[in-house]
Structures are given as structure tokens and as C-alpha cells.
Structure 1
Amino acid sequence: MDRLVKAELKEVELHFHKNQKCFTSFKLTNLMHTMSVAVSLTTTNPSTFSINKPLSVIPPLSSSSYTLHLSNMNQPPLSDPADVITVRTSMLPTGKASTDDLRRLFNKPGPHVFRDAVITVTLVGPTVAEYIISNYDSVETRNLFSKAISACEKSHLTNLLKPAVESGQLDYVAELIAAGGDASLTDSNGRSLIPSAIRTGKLDVLKLLVASGSRINDSVDFVLHEAAVLDRIDIVKFLLEIFADKLDVNSTNTESKTPIHVAAMEGHVSVIEFLVSIGANPNAVDSQKWTPLHHAASRNQLKAVEFLLENSDVKYAKELNGKTAFELAEERNHTRLFGLLRWGDALLRAARVDDVHALKRCLAEGAEVNRKDQNGWTPLHWASFKGRIKSVKILLEHGAEVDSVDDAGYTPLHCAAEAGHLQVALVLIAHGGCQTNLKTFQHVSPIGSFQKHVSQSLHYSKKSETIA
């Protein structure tokens, strides 16, 4: 004899509801034609699961129903392996027995007790599915999740999409959509699921949503801002490819910030550079009149500050409270930005007016000795043009490039020659300022005797280098 009773199901589904009593029923049938059967039901987790008739008697060829109860809980008691109900049986010739008699019968081991069935307990419903999404990797619980959502209505499946997308688990999102979840879901403010997908950084989830009908409303979704925060050029490119007609690279969020603003805050230079290359405005101001440079400076984002200085013209722009980017950096003690945002300017001024004290202070504070102004002039260009020989010497001692060229191709030696400063020109030549093309140099200098003197110095210097 294989067994005395037959379980109606190998698996019972229990719909879980948070902090509520939950229960489900199942049935056992006596397979004996002439003899009653005693039944003992136990669970692997009796503190959580209980059965209304743990000990019972089933008459011949009859069936009996049982109820599995789950204690009030605020989260589903998932376990691996799953909880089960174990069905043990024994023949009962008398047909009747008290509870104590049945307890003694099953407490006494021996061949009279059969293990007829093991019934798996499966927790189902949207609460279970959401708990799995929040607490388990999709690979680990793929089967549990599939069973949990099998008892969900379409509205439940759709509502579960948001936490599934936020989890970044492609499998969960794919299963919900395949089961009937609506990817075009929007919240009460009209926001789609796409921003949530972007925030996870999972391009595959984003692509699945778009392929399944999800669409943006960029007046509330701000998808380029979301991608810019993450430094994800690949996501920016995908969005622009799919939603080209709905996206503006200069779109603003609720604070009037553009995608470049938020990228500058995070120091994401690659995103800033890409956005600028496709038409984004690096000079844009937000609701507080902060430019991207203001944000980068306030957050001590050195590389972003460098790029924005080179690609915008808002170095001295003032925000709503009248502060420049330098002043924001200064009040936050971001000293490494001082040279870029101000000391560089102070250095240029000191070189122009031959303020040796200020010149040394700027260099000590970290000003870049070879940083160029808007025309490509370095401090050495200015000092040479103005004939500031003390400044020229200090700059050269601190590593100034003697042959640096400006936007027009002029070197400091050209500047000294053009302005007629012979002594400065000779100092520059002595420091290696001989790389200038002699013919070009002769065209620049308008003063005959001076030109001849400097040209001869250049000639002898070049000749000496050749002999050496």
C-alpha cells in the first residue's frame, strides 16, 4: 500500500495581506474502502502556520477539509526551502479515537505510521511580490516571484512596475509586463516610469520600458537631468535618439536648472562637454541666477570649473546675491579653485603693473604661471609688452614658458619687440626665447635700430645653439 489518503493539491496558495489574518483551505481524501484513517498534520514553522484540525479521523472513502492559518505579520514569512505541511496517517480499525488517543498513536514511532504527503505552502499576492522585489535578487527568487504575481490582477501588476523598475531588476520588470502590467503607467503628476529607470543606471530596463510603450513628459520627467546627474552619456544619447522631438538640451527643471547645471554640480565633465557639443548653453542661469560655473565652484569641482572657464564667458557673472563663482569658492574655502577663478586674473594684473609683491603672492597661492587670458596672453606676454623687467624675471624663475604663443601667434619676445623694450627682449633671449621664426619676428618689430639689435641677438643665439 503506497498511502492511505490523497492530498487534493501538492501546493496550497495563501494570499498574504500585511498585518491581517490570512488563511487557505485544502482537502484530504481517505483511499481506504472499509477502514477509517487517522491523520496528523504538522507544519515546518508552527509558530507562524497553524492548522485548524492537526489531528483528525477520516471515514472510508470520505474527504475532509482543513484550514491553514497564518499569524498576523507585517511581512510575508518567505523561507528557502519553502514551508510545508506534512501529512502522516495511520489505519484506525475502531473508526473512532479521542484527541489524546490520536496524539499517543502518532507519538509512538513504528511501521503503523505512514508519511502520505508533503504539501508546499506558497505565499501569493501583490504584497508578497513587492516584498520579493525589495529584498531579493531576481535570480534567487524567480520561481517565488512568478507564483506571487500569478494571483495578481492587472491593476496590481501595473502598480508593481514602479518598485520593480526602481529595483533595477530586469527580470522582475519583464515578468510583470509579460503578465499584463502596463508600462505606460504615469503617477498623479503625470510622471512616467522612465526617470525611475534612469536613476537605477540600468539601460536595459530603460530600453524595455520604451519598447513596451512607456513615453516621457519632459515637463515633469526631466530625463536629461536624471542622466546628467549619473554621468551617463550613453543614456543621454539613447534618450535623444528615441525622443528627439520631445527633448530640449536646454530644458529646465522646477529650479530652472538645465542638464548642464546638474552635471556641473556633480563635476561630470564628460556630460557637460557632450551637452555643449550638441548645443547646450554653458552660460544658462537658474532661478537664483547661478550659472553652471557657480555650481561647479561651490562644489569644488575642479575639472568642471576648468572646462566651463574655457567654454563659457560667465567668469565674473554674479548670482542673485551678487556673488561671483570665485566668491562662492572663497566662502567655502575651496582653495584649489582660487588660481583658476581669481588668482590667475590677479597674476595678469600684477604682471601688467609690475606689482612684484602681488605677483609673488599669487604664485605662492597656486596661480598658474602660464594661464592665458581671452586673447591667449600669459602673464609673461603682458609683462614683456609693458616692459616690466622685474616681473619678467620672476615669472621666468617660476617656470613661465618663454615661447608661449597667443591666439595670433605672438610670443612674449614679439610683444617686447613690438613695444620697444630691448632689455626685456634680451632677458627673454637669455632664457631661451630663440624659437621664434626670425623672419616672422622681423615683420613684427617696427623700430629699425631696435629690430636690428634684437635680430642680431637672435641670430647669434641661434648660431651659438647650432655650434653647440
Structure 2
Amino acid sequence: MENYKYHMAAHDGNYDVVKDAILNDGKLITKKDDSGRMVLHWACVGGSKDLVEMLIEHGAELDTADETGWTPLICAACAGKLWVVRLLVGRGAVINVQNDGGHSPLQYAASKNHKEVLSYLLEGGSDINMRDKRGATALHRAASQGHVASVALLLQQGHSNCNLRDSQGNTPLHLACEEERTDVARLLLEAGADDAILNNEGKTAPQVIPNSLPKRDIPGLGNFYPSK
């Protein structure tokens, strides 16, 4: 890792170390590590706003992707670094960028339950119904993880379509039921989720609820019984 010590210094927020290195060798700005990440990527993961700003001022490219398509903005959103996200978007970073898996900054903020980042990205014009390579939206990801606050934001602030089906035919309600996310299931039902939609296996959301979870625990699904 000696060759990439400044990448790690950026991750750790060592402003003076990184700045001195860049002033000594400007090529460090574009140098990539074994995963294709530049110093800016790691600074965004670490969350030092001042360091990120300095790197941008010295010519770091905002939308350069690593070997799997992660841009600095995706890194910052996934790490929950609100002020870095705000800085990158304010400087013109592509907000609806997707990595090789089709995942966007909004989807990572939702799946990690970074509520402030999620709210900011929604206000900034993120495509709330953008799909990843498996056809999942940010709402699918938040619902499957049981993140009540993120699901509420997506439904209330973003007006997310709660009945979109992923590549397996599952709606967010299917995923919430399958993972026993009862509070999320309630929110989705209140928002108009259709519990009669069939997935690719011909099952409705109530029919994928595991035997371990009584249907009565989810108001609105009480007339259904476990499928297993």
C-alpha cells in the first residue's frame, strides 16, 4: 500500500499531508489505486469536506469512475457524508450516475438509511424510480432493509411508485413481507401498495411472508396465510 499511501491519507482526512504531496507532484490528483480509485474517491469516503474541496480546486475530476463504476458522489452518498455530497452536487457532479450494478447515489443513501443525504438528493432532482441491473428502485432497497425513515421519505417527499416490480417481479411490498419488515409493510400499504400483484413465481406479497410471522402482525394482510 506504500504506492497508495496518499489515497489512505485522503481517506483519513490528513489534509496537510495530501496537499503537500499534490503541490509536490500534481500527477497525484489523477493517480489510481488497484481498484481504479483516485485520491478524491477516498477523500469522499472519509468525509473531509475541506480536503475534497481542495482536491477539486487542484483539478480532481468529479465524475471519474473506478473499475466498478463508482464515482466520488456514489462513494460519498454510500458513506453518508452529507456535506461532501452537497459540495459535489453543487460543483456539478452527475446526480443520477449509476455504477456497474446500476446503483445510484440515491439508492445507496436509501439502502444505508442515510436520511439527510437521501432528502438532499431527492430535493436535488435524483430520479426516484431509477432501476438498478436487477430492476430494483431506491424504494425496493430501503424496504428490503427495513429502513422505515427512508421508506417514509421516498413515499412522502419523493412520491415513489410503490408498485413497481423488479426483475423477479417483486414490489417493495413483496420484499418487506419476505424480510419480515412489518413497519415498512404498513407504510407501503398506507401509501397504496397493491398486495394482489403477482411476482414471477405467481405469488402475492402476503404469500411470501415466512411462517414465522403471523399475518395479523401486518394490518391489511390478515386475510392471507403463509405459503410455506
Q: Deviations over 1:184-203 (max 9, x none)?
A: 23227764211100111111
- What is aligned with 1:325? 172
Please identify, of 166-175 and 260-269, the stretch whose mean Cα deviation from structure 2 is larger.
166-175
**1:336 corresponds to which letter in structure 2?**
D
Distance 1:171 1:313 in 2: 43
**1:314 corresponds to which letter in structure 2?**
N
- What is aligned with 1:163? 8
2:78 corresponds to 1:229: yes
**Distance apart, 1:261 and its partner CA:** 0.7
Q: Deviations over 1:2-26 (max 9, x none)?
A: xxxxxxxxxxxxxxxxxxxxxxxxx
Distance 1:306 1:345 in 2: 13
Aligned residues: 197
Report the aligned-residue RMSD.
3.1
> Of 207, 212, 215, which aligns to 2:53?
207
Whether contact under 8 Å (2:129, 2:137) holds in the other structure is: yes
Q: Which ranges in structure 2 are unaligned for 5 or more consecutive residues? A: 194-213, 221-228
> Of 238, 241, 257, which aligns to 2:87?
238
Q: What is the identity percentage for the equivalent residue pairs of Structure 1 and Structure 2?
A: 24
- What is aligned with 2:209? none
**1:233 corresponds to which letter in structure 2?**
L
2:95 corresponds to 1:255: no
| SS across alignment from 2:162 | coil
**1:226 corresponds to which letter in structure 2?**
C
2:43 corresponds to 1:197: yes
Distance 2:142 2:183 in 1: 13
> Of 181, 188, 200, which aligns to 2:25?
181
TM-score by length of 1: 0.38
2:189 corresponds to 1:342: yes
- What is aligned with 1:312? 159
**Distance apart, 1:302 and its partner CA:** 0.2
| SS across alignment from 2:29 | coil
**1:268 corresponds to which letter in structure 2?**
H
Q: Which ranges in structure 1 are unaligned for 5 or more consecutive residues? A: 1-126, 131-155, 347-360, 369-468
Q: Deviations over 1:26-48 (max 9, x none)?
A: xxxxxxxxxxxxxxxxxxxxxxx
Whether contact under 8 Å (1:190, 1:217) holds in the other structure is: no
Over 3 Å counting, the alpha-carbon distance change for 1:254 and 1:184 in structure 2 is same
**1:211 corresponds to which letter in structure 2?**
E
Over 3 Å counting, the alpha-carbon distance change for 1:312 and 1:218 in structure 2 is farther
Over 3 Å counting, the alpha-carbon distance change for 1:234 and 1:288 in structure 2 is same
Distance 1:307 1:289 in 2: 20
Distance 1:277 1:343 in 2: 23
Whether contact under 8 Å (1:192, 1:217) holds in the other structure is: no
- What is aligned with 1:393? none
Distance 1:299 1:166 in 2: 27
Distance 1:366 1:170 in 2: 50
Distance 1:332 1:366 in 2: 13
Distance 2:180 2:97 in 1: 32
**Distance apart, 1:365 and its partner CA:** 3.5
2:217 corresponds to 1:365: yes
Distance 2:126 2:118 in 1: 9
- What is aligned with 2:110? 264
Whether contact under 8 Å (1:298, 1:332) holds in the other structure is: yes
Q: Which has the larger radius of gyration?
A: 1
